[in-house]
Every structure is written in structure tokens, then in C-alpha cells.
């Protein structure tokens, strides 16, 4: 009976979402006309998006199955992003969502390099490949790209323009290049490692000749 329910549910979603098919799997499925609760070994897949968790709810909004909510240990994968968090809210129609609490994100770049982001909250659009995030209280977002270690209160990133925008309490470090920069706002081009900022406190260290021997 469980298998029949899952197949019927997936078919219903494929009709309502038009050209997109949503594949759903779980050990336990409970629900009714306007919602389904998925429990244990949950997998939700739409196009290149895959969500793996143990508890999720899919809700009907305006006659469309589009609201996906999950809590607990969440793993989410797309064609360019891998992330984990404790809370997920996702719009299956618009392909945009929010990850909250202990968010760890890896964005794969075209040159086979990666960006790692650690923060409290990320909003992302899987269709447009854009991201924005923040950390709460005195914590800062931490971003790692190659030798660069970057901190800021808020950030946005666009995979198409390769532009990372950093705001509030921005710190950019590169121990290998002996760079330590502080500013209120900066932009970082991830394809060229180019930095642009104003009103900067910048420290460039030069090693003594004796230290180089």
C-alpha cells in the first residue's frame, strides 16, 4: 500500500507542476488533500535539486504542490551547490529557498575550484544561481576560497557574474600573500580573485631578508 501511495503522489505532482516531475520517497507518508508529511529516509528530487532528510512536509498552495519544509539534518544538492543545515523552506515552483541554522555550503565553480560558506542563513535561487546570507549576533559569515579567508556580516553571490558582495565588518585575509584587509563593504571577483573596496584598513607584510634565508 505504501508503494501505491508514493507512486500516486509523484504522478499528482508531475501533473500540477506541468513540465517538472517531482520524485518523492520516504518510509512513511501521511497526509490528505492539501499536505503530505514524509518521514524517515526522505528523498525529494526535482530536476537537478535533491533534498535528503528524515522529516519533510509538502503543502498545496493555490492548487499547486509547491511548498517544501524540512527540519533536522538536511542535505541539499544541486548541479553547482552542496549544502547542509537544520531548517529548509523551499518553493518547488519558483526554485528558491532558505536554509537556516548551522548552514554549510559548497559552491562549485567552473574552473573546478570551490567556495565554502559557513553562516546562519542563506537564501538561494536555484534557477538564477544567486545567493544571499547572514549570521546573527556577533557572529560573522565565513567564506573560504583557495588561500582567501573572508568574513562579513552579510553577503550576496551571483554565479553568473562571479561577483561576491560583502557588507558590514568585512575582513579579507590571505596568509600566503600576507594580506589583511578590513572595510565596511567590498566586492570579490571569484574568477580572478580581484578585490574592490573603499575606506580600507590594509596591512601588507614584508618578511625580513633574514627570515627568507
- Whether residues 59 and 113 share a domain: the answer is no
Single out the residue in 73, 106, 136 at which a domain terminates.
Answer: 73
Q: Which domain holds residue 43?
A: 1-73
Cell of 61: 498552495
Between the alpha carbon of residue 94 and those of residues 20, 73, 83, the distances in Å are 11, 24, 19
Does 101 lie in the same domain as 64? Answer: no
- For residue 17, the tally of other CB atoms under 10 A from its CB is 16
Residue 83 lies in a domain: no
pLDDT band at 86 (very low <50, low <70, confident <90, very high): very high
- Phi-psi sector, 97: left (phi>0), alpha (psi -120 to 50), beta: beta
Asked if residue 101 and residue 203 are part of one domain, the reply reads yes
Average pLDDT, the chain: 87
Q: Are residues 63 and 134 in the same domain?
A: no
Classify burial at 29, counting beta carbons within 10 Å of its beta carbon; exposed 0-12, middle 13-18, buried 19 or more.
middle
Q: pLDDT tier at 8 (50, 70, 90 boundaries)?
A: very low
CATH number of the CATH domain containing 142: 2.60.450.10
Please check whether residue 89 lies inside any domain of the structure: no
Residues 100 and 174 in one domain: yes
What is the per-residue pLDDT for 211? Answer: 52
Is residue 67 domain-shared with residue 134, that is, in the same domain? no
Would 79 be classed as within a structural domain? no
- On whether both 56 and 101 belong to a single domain, the answer is no
Is there a contact between 24 and 43 (Cβ–Cβ < 8 Å)? yes
Q: How many domains does the chain have?
A: 2
- The least confident of 25-34, 88-97, 204-213 is 204-213
pLDDT of 31: 82
Least confident of 34-38, 61-65, 108-112, 122-126: 61-65
143-202 per-position pLDDT tens digit? 999 999 999 999 999 999 999 999 999 999 999 989 899 999 999 999 999 999 988 887
Q: What is the mean pLDDT of residues 122-145?
A: 97
d(CA 146, CA 102): 22
Residue 182 lies in a domain: yes
What's the half-sphere exposure (Cβ side, CA atoms, 13 Å) at 196?
7
Q: Is residue 157 part of a domain?
A: yes
pLDDT of residue 117: 98
Q: What pLDDT does residue 207 have? A: 66
With cut-offs at 50, 70 and 90, classify the pLDDT of residue 2.
very low
Domain shared by 111 and 204, yes or no: yes
Looking at the fold, whether 69 and 116 belong to one and the same domain comes out as: no
Q: Is the pTM of this model over 0.75?
A: yes
Residues 127 and 180 in one domain: yes
Amino acid at each position: 500500500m505504501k508503494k501505491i501511495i508514493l507512486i500516486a503522489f509523484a504522478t499528482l505532482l508531475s501533473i500540477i507542476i506541468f513540465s517538472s516531475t517531482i520524485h518523492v520517497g520516504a518510509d512513511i507518508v501521511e497526509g490528505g488533500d492539501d499536505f503530505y508529511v514524509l518521514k524517515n529516509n526522505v528523498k525529494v528530487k526535482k530536476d537537478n535539486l535533491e533534498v535528503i532528510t528524515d522529516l519533510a512536509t509538502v503543502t498545496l498552495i493555490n492548487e499547486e504542490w509547491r511548498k517544501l519544509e524540512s527540519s533536522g539534518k538536511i542535505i541539499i544538492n544541486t548541479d553547482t551547490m552542496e549544502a547542509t543545515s537544520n531548517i529548509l523552506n523551499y518553493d518547488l515552483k519558483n526554485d528558491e529557498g532558505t536554509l537556516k541554522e548551522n548552514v554549510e555550503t559548497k559552491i562549485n565553480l567552473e574552473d573546478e575550484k570551490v567556495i565554502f560558506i559557513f553562516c546562519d542563513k542563506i537564501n538561494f535561487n536555484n534557477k538564477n544561481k544567486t545567493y544571499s546570507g547572514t549570521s546573527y549576533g556577533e557572529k560573522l559569515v565565513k567564506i573560504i576560497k583557495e588561500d582567501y579567508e573572508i568574513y562579513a556580516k552579510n553577503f550576496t553571490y551571483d554565479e553568473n557574474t562571479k561577483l561576491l558582495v560583502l557588507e558590514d565588518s568585512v575582513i579579507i585575509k590571505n596568509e600566503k600573500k600576507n594580506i589583511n584587509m578590513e572595510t565596511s563593504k567590498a566586492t570579490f571577483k571569484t574568477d580572478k580573485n580581484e578585490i574592490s573596496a573603499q575606506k580600507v584598513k590594509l596591512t601588507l607584510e614584508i618578511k625580513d631578508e633574514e627570515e627568507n634565508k
